[in-house]
A and B are shown apart, each in its own frame.
Chain A
């Protein structure tokens, strides 16, 4: 099943042409990795999927982008962002307690029953493999957690609003290898129930977790194929060069 479908998608930030005629699909229940050097448009593409680019006043777009066969611009923006969650590059806890961080989205969507919220908080923290580490200090500030714990908190916070898709924007760029492994483990488990789009600077990470991998360069989609294919027999010389570390 196709989750997202982009047809001839172009976007601009002021004069900068950030995405150039991108055609691609995101399948349900896959992990799609997007790799590419800085300024290749991979994060811009990701932020199209939950319309976070709209916050930038100089943003313009043309072309077509569908979510579940529906024009993404026709979907109520709060509903879209509830269905398409996001985990950012840096761990970004809100200035609230651990509990309130997870409960925030749930409360914003109208849930007032504290018992129900507690159940959701516990379930989300377990899904993100954080529950055992924080269950005794849910009331303390989220800023007291380590970087890796904070990032898993952010994953739990995203899961709490029960999205269908989770966008990861270089989620491990600030983490040590052990924390990275934990985040990747969580991602692989989540694939069963969620569609995951992962933007990463770490080519090896894409190879480890991605079902399919897309390579972006200068705002263009160079190649999109099964991860094994991309890493063993890429169809384009530029892809080959990038994954071998020749540029980028």
Chain B
């Protein structure tokens, strides 16, 4: 009896320790970045263009650039990803070809981001002649997050109980009506989860925008979607490795803004998802 209890205590302790091991680094990252970055944050830092070779001034163009890129990527990837997910979960028959397609999509999520960068360079920048532009960068990021959005949306659609579909069909609703009025509304929280994951990834990646959009130094706001733009992750990389004598607090300040931006966008999506979940009635 005693032995069982001791084993249980050890097991609980190990499980707790594993959880702690995940939480501690995350907490430390946040704490260190806030601690070192917060002194740099002021209105000028957030609203001004970079000055003195990015050693002072602000990071406003990079914030705006990242915002445009993430928005563009979602604008492109969400509709296409959702339509593909609806096709795969609702219409595609369970045959070898479709199983291969599903497997390929899952595996695409694991392709290194620099490969997407090169792909974007070849297709959008060179072949389609969009040049290094917000359009090319958004499309490249969009393609990178497509697998995430498709996979999570598909899971969300498939988790809507089959009995709801049967009821809808048994009332004489068509298959599309059933998808449109029963399946999709109940899958929205799950679809939003995929969008959140995609959003965070698109905001944080450096490699895909390296060749397709990111400007080393462009102390003004982009004028159109065919313009180049600065972006936070690449700007962070530049001031950390390419420009000598940048004050540490500027670097950490930039990291803090990037972190905050991603958390903020996630928060908005989480609130939307929470509101939809509250309406979930089964």
Chain A positions near chain B (C-beta within 8 angstroms): 50, 52, 55, 57, 78-82, 85-86, 88, 90, 92, 94-96, 104-105, 108-109, 141-143, 154, 157-158, 161
Contacts and interface: CB of A to CB of B under 8 A. Distances in A.
Given A78-B174, A105-B173, A161-B172, A92 B167 contact: yes
B171 A92 contact: no
Contacts of B181: 104, 108
B91 to A, nearest CB: 12
Nearest to B165: A55
A227 B259 CA distance: 74
Interface in B156-201: 163-174, 177, 181-182, 186
Nearest to B164: A94
Interface in B268-282: 280-282
Contact of B169 (A55, A109, A141): A55
A88 B186 CA distance: 21
Nearest to A96: B281
Contacts of B186: 95
Given A78-B174, A85-B170, A92 B280 contact: no
Of the candidates A78, A80, A104, A108, the one having the most CB atoms from chain B within 10 angstroms of its own CB is A108
Nearest to A87: B170
Given A95-B281, A143-B282, A158 B163 contact: no
B281 A143 contact: yes
B171 A95 contact: no
A143 B186 CA distance: 15
B173 A108 contact: yes
B60 to A, nearest CB: 45
Nearest to B186: A95
Contacts of A143: 281-282
Given A81-B171, A85-B170, A158-B171, A95 B280 contact: yes
B27 to A, nearest CB: 38
Contacts of A52: 166, 169-170
Interface in B92-124: 93-94
Contacts of A80: 172
A53 B164 CA distance: 15
Contacts of B173: 78, 104-105, 108
Contacts of A88: 163, 166-167, 170
Given A57-B94, A141-B281, A92 B164 contact: yes
B172 A78 contact: yes
Contacts of A157: 171
A79 B171 contact: no
B167 A79 contact: no
Nearest to A100: B181
A187 B166 CA distance: 22
B281 A104 contact: no
Contacts of A50: 170
B168 A104 contact: yes
A55 B166 contact: yes
